[in-house]
Each structure stands twice: as C-alpha cells, then as structure tokens.
Amino acid sequence: MPQVAVNADGRFLTLSEGGRHARFHAIWLRDNAWDSETRSPGNGQRLITLGDIPAGTRIVAAAMSGTTLHVTFAPENKTVAYDPDWLFARSYDV
C-alpha cells in the first residue's frame, strides 16, 4: 500500500510505494480531481476552470483507505478520492 505524507504547510504531498516517490502539489491535485463537481461523470468534461479553484488551496488531510487515496483541501473543505496508480502514471515531480 502506498504511503502518503503532507508537507507542513499543505502545499504538496509525497506518495511513496515500492521505491517510487512522487510529489503532487495541492493546486495540481485539486485541478485534476475527478469528482462529480469537477468533472462530468458521463464524459469527463471539466466543469470548473483553474480560476474557480481558490489560489490559497492547500491539503489539510491525506490518507489511504484500502487502495484509494483521500485528500481534503482547504479552504473548500472538499475531499477527493484518487487512484495512486493514476497519480504515479501522471507524476511530474520527484
């Protein structure tokens, strides 16, 4: 199971598993969320723009539950679920 750690100010998290390490910034995670308020469930079309996401978005909690990573963002108090394999496949920073 992947391990997750959030940095002290909530600007990013680090996901680690089997020698793989990847860092994901809060704003990137929020922008790439696949929840029904961010993307259309039917076709995946984006329902918000980057401008709709608060500039001060940060991670206030992140935890694995089974094979799913749950991340909670402030100031929206929004929790989004991610597939760690999906994230690792889109890793842009180490």
Domains of the chain: 3-89 (3.30.2020.30)
15 φψ region: left (φ > 0), alpha (ψ -120 to 50), beta (else):
beta
Cα of 89 vs its chain's centroid, Å: 13
Model pLDDT, residue 93: 81
Length of the chain: 94
Model pLDDT, residue 50: 93
Of 87, 78, 64, 76, the closest CA to residue 36 belongs to 78
pTM confidence score: 0.93
Rounded Cα distance between 24 and 45, Å, is 22
Model pLDDT, residue 94: 67
Q: Please list the pLDDT of the chain residue by residue as tens digits (94 residues).
A: 899 999 999 999 999 999 999 999 999 999 999 999 999 999 989 999 999 999 999 999 999 999 999 999 999 999 999 999 999 999 998 6
